[in-house]
Amino acid sequence: MFALALVSIFAFPLLPDRYDPSTPIDLTVKPNFVTPIKLARINRSFPACVNAVRAAGLEVDDHSIASDKPGCGMDRGLALKQARYRYGGGITITCPMMAALAQWELHVVAPAAQKHLGTDVSRVVHFGTYSCRNINGSATGRRSAHATGQALDVGGFWLADGGQVSVLNDWDGSGNKSAFLEEVRDGSCDIFRTVLSPDYNANHKDHFHFEVGGWGICR
């Protein structure tokens, strides 16, 4: 990374920002090979992350959640007020998750909707973000990424033309809605480190689970 930064400064002083690892990330630019370097910077710095999220057009408020339960709570999180799509409230996630959401709307969902459905999404139907619980809601075991605001569950989409797509009803099949959902799932793996769909297990038959951390499963 350091070597790449040196190269960009001394060898390519006129490198466009999107390929210059020393400039702040622009989340509206399609991810490329220097994006992970830029993302690492906002993952380390909350102020830099919030700047990037707001520069991408999202309206967010600081939103931390205190919890006395072990493994729960969210330090320096954000509450979403407005993004490209509507969510109906309740999106409280960490800033790196919010940055991923901004990229996901623009670089995954919008092109997939245009390609397969000929329209854009207007609303994302979400099943929740922060929740102090274990994986799959089990009484014992590891905490879910939801317990620290590092996960988002999406159950479907409302479309700008009035249509709707649901993971539960449209995942299986060979129609445009199925193709859209499959492309969203696959494309999401370029943005989120862990993506779970109905292909993963029966707990996810009605939603996609996205997180920026996790085990790196895309299924």
Encoded one letter per residue, x for contact with Zn ion by CB under 5 A and - for no contact, window 121-160 reads: ------------------------------x-x-------
Q: Is 209 a residue that touches Zn ion (CB under 5 A)? A: yes
In Å, the largest CA–CA distance within the chain is 56
Q: What angle do CA 83, 145, 88 make, to 5 degrees?
A: 30
103 vs 144, beta carbon nearer Zn ion: 144
Q: What residue number has its CB nearest to Zn ion?
A: 209
Question: Are 157 and 109 within 8 A, CB to CB?
Answer: yes
Contacts to Zn ion from residues 53-82, by CB under 5 A? none
Least spacing, CB of residue 16 vs Zn ion, in Å: 37
Tell me how far apart the alpha carbons of residues 110 and 68 are, in angstroms, rounded to a whole number: 39
Q: Is 204 a residue that touches Zn ion (CB under 5 A)? A: no
Q: Are strands 151-159 and 208-211 parallel, antiparallel or unpaired?
A: antiparallel
39 vs 151, beta carbon nearer Zn ion: 151
Q: Is 93 a residue that touches Zn ion (CB under 5 A)? A: no
Q: Which span sits near Zn ion by CB under 5 A: 52-60, 84-92, 102-110, 203-211?
A: 203-211
Q: What are phi and psi of 128, to 5 degrees?
A: 120, 160
Question: Are 67 and 79 within 8 A, CB to CB?
Answer: no
Report residue 136 as tokens. Answer: 């799959």
Chain residues binding Zn ion by CB under 5 A are 151, 153, 209
